[in-house]
Every structure is written in structure tokens, then in C-alpha cells.
Structure 1
């Protein structure tokens, strides 16, 4: 029964309901220099890299590399990293970071998920870090499996939200979540691929509030319009457990999926 379900179409339907507006390369070009160095040190980066098994002779394809968050952390450990992104600005930022770190084994590739990848090299390892909310996941998985000889590593949002599920539910907001990792697990299962699943946790956007008013302002930035009733609900939620509320509630979770490609 499970193998008869069209998870690829269900993924596309869910993505359509989310109202996802994909950023253009120009959108990311504008952001590139601002975030160039801020993403190079984080608990997420450390956790991701610690889960990747690689050796000095390996080649790595980093899809959606951005300014080199993962690519440049892996570069000293491997033979070569091919850093792929559809934003030239991000690739320029990545190369600037690589130069400052004196890393000479990183090669940029300007390409998107939607292109045919005919000129993208097949590598030992393919990684996708926080760049897997794509229009066609079925096609993305095919590309990754064809371009990795040994292993694929991917992170995908758990629950499909960058914001707080608890607060969204509390305020009765419409579910606009993105497709999460369970679609990918099932799509891989239908290909007779059985991924290992781990999780990386980090604080969500509401974390770090030192007062009720600051917390409400953070929520306002996420949900825009707050009614008097909304503020009353938020106040009650915050005051019922201030320590938990100051953490932003439940953490943001990324599913860390790893699998051996099956051609």
C-alpha cells in the first residue's frame, strides 16, 4: 500500500498550500555580503559537519552552498569540494571566504536545482544543508543519487516551520508549513533506500526574550497582525512558564538524513 502512494505529488501539493515564494538569484545576491561571515560559526554547522563521514581522497558536492557554511568546513578534510549555488553573489562570497581561509580546493558551480546538471561532476559525497525546500523533490532526489557515489547527507525542517508551531496553534493561524522530512523518507523508501535519521536542534526565532513585551514584539514580527485577544493569549502562555517562553518554546529541529545512493 505504502509504495502505491504518490508521495512526490503529495509533496508538490503541500508545497503549493504553503504559499512558498522561491527567492530569485538576485534576492540572494543582495543578502550575500551581509551574511558572508555570520554563518561560518554556529552550533548547527558544527553538528552537521560532525555527522559527515569523509576521507582525504573524497570529493564533495555541496548543493545550495551559500557563502560556504558547510563546504568550507569540509574542505580541509577532503580532496575537493564543488560548491553549487544559483546565486552568483553567494558564490562570490564563498570564494572570498575560501581565500581568507587559504582554501584552494573549492570550485564554484553556478547552477540551480531545476537545471539538468549535465556538467555537474559526480562526487563521492553530496550534501544539502538547509537548501532542500525545492519545487520538485522527486527530481532533486534523482539528481543527488546520480551525483553521489558513496553517501548523501541532507537536512530538512521537522514540521516544515521556521517559526513556532505552538504559537501558530495558540493564535489559530492557518497552517502554512512546508513539506517536511517525512515526505523524503517515504520517497526514498519507494526507491528501496533506507536513510538513517538524526536531528539537529537550535533555538527558534522567538528565543531570547527577556520580558513579555519583547516576546510579544518577536511574535508580532513573525505573525504581523496581533489582536487584543491574541496578546491576551500570548501573555497567558508566557506567564505560565516564563523560562520555557524565554527559550522560544520548543526548539527548531532539522532532520539530518543520510543514505547510500541506489542508482
Structure 2
């Protein structure tokens, strides 16, 4: 028998009580409830300060990047389409999209990640990417990201929210 060793952590901390075992069932009708259960099993919620500290170890200079190339191929973003890259990090997607001439809103809740992105954009002379300090839970309209303001929205390995349905 395997015991579940996942415990809730700071923020909703109950180190004395293991979290209930959870098996995702992607065929259920309410996948947002499954998402919420999966978030309870995480060791800690994402926060900006964690990613600010990690920003120095991330970069978008490791091209060619097979993941990024395949992601962009599958996304099939047409020439001239504008893009929201939510949770952009250091710009793995935003930088090549901007280099290809796409207007990009690159949003992240980590000032550190955006700092690395801004340095890369300046170094490469890319002016079509607009970095925004913004989280999934923020009022996007207050940040100028309105319904219909971009043609395509992407989020790659960046969904740092407890309630996916509400955020989307």
C-alpha cells in the first residue's frame, strides 16, 4: 500500500494532516473542480517572489528550443496577429513572436521575470512586445487587456491560479 505524502503548505497549512489522494478524471463534466483539487495537492501556491528569485536562472537565449518551436508551429499564429502571452516568464514565446513582428502583450506576475524579458527585448531591438506586470487573478481590463484586444491568447506552462475557470 502506498501512502499519500502530500501535505498542505503555508497559506493553507495543515502539516499534521495529509491531503486526500486525488486521481484526475479528465472525462468528468466539471474539470475546473478537478483543477481545484489538483491545486490543493501542490506543495505551495505560486507566488511572485518565488519566481522573482528564479528569474536569473531562466532565459530565452537557448534557441533553438524544440518545445517553443513546436508550440508556435501548433499555435499557427498568422502573420500580423496580435498575441497575449499570459504568464510569459522571461519570454520564451514572446521574444520569437515579437521578433517575427507580432504585437505581443507579455504578462507575468513576477517583476524579476519581466526584468529578464525586458533586457532580452532591448538587447535584440524588439519593440513590438509590451511587458505587463499582471497576474491571472488581476483585473485585466484595468491593465488595458480588454476582450477582443488581441487576436490570440496563449499560456504555456504558466497557469498559476487556483480557479482556472474564473481566471479564463
Paired residues of 1:55 and 1:77 also in contact (CA < 8 A)? no
Q: Give the whole-Å Cα distance in 1 for the aligned partners of 2:38 and 2:64.
A: 33
> What are the ranges of 5 or more consecutive residues in structure 2 without an aligned counterpart?
1-26
Higher relative contact order (CA 8 A, sep 6+): 2
Between structure 1 and structure 2, the one with the greater Rg is 1
User: Which whole-Å deviations, capped at 9, do the CAs of 1:59-117 have from their partners, x for residues lacking one?
Assistant: 11000000110111111334411100000111110011111222111101111011121
Q: Give the whole-Å Cα distance in 1 for the aligned partners of 2:104 and 2:63.
A: 16
Secondary structure of 1:123's counterpart equals: coil
Distance 1:30 1:127, change over 3 A: same
TM-score (norm 1): 0.48
Structure with the largest fraction of strand: 1
Residue 52 of structure 2 corresponds to residue 8 of structure 1 = no
Paired residues of 1:67 and 1:90 also in contact (CA < 8 A)? yes
Paired residues of 2:39 and 2:162 also in contact (CA < 8 A)? yes
TM-score (norm 2): 0.73
> What are the ranges of 5 or more consecutive residues in structure 1 without an aligned counterpart?
142-263
Q: Give the whole-Å Cα distance in 1 for the aligned partners of 2:103 and 2:84.
A: 9
Paired residues of 1:66 and 1:85 also in contact (CA < 8 A)? yes
Residue 75 of structure 2 corresponds to residue 52 of structure 1 = yes
Which moved further from structure 2: 50-59 or 77-86?
A: 50-59
Paired positions, count: 138
Aligned counterpart, 1:131:
158
Q: Give the whole-Å Cα distance in 2 for the aligned partners of 1:44 and 1:64.
A: 16
Residue 126 of structure 2 corresponds to residue 99 of structure 1 = no
User: Which whole-Å deviations, capped at 9, do the CAs of 1:95-141 have from their partners, x for residues lacking one?
Assistant: 11111222111101111011121132420010111112531111133
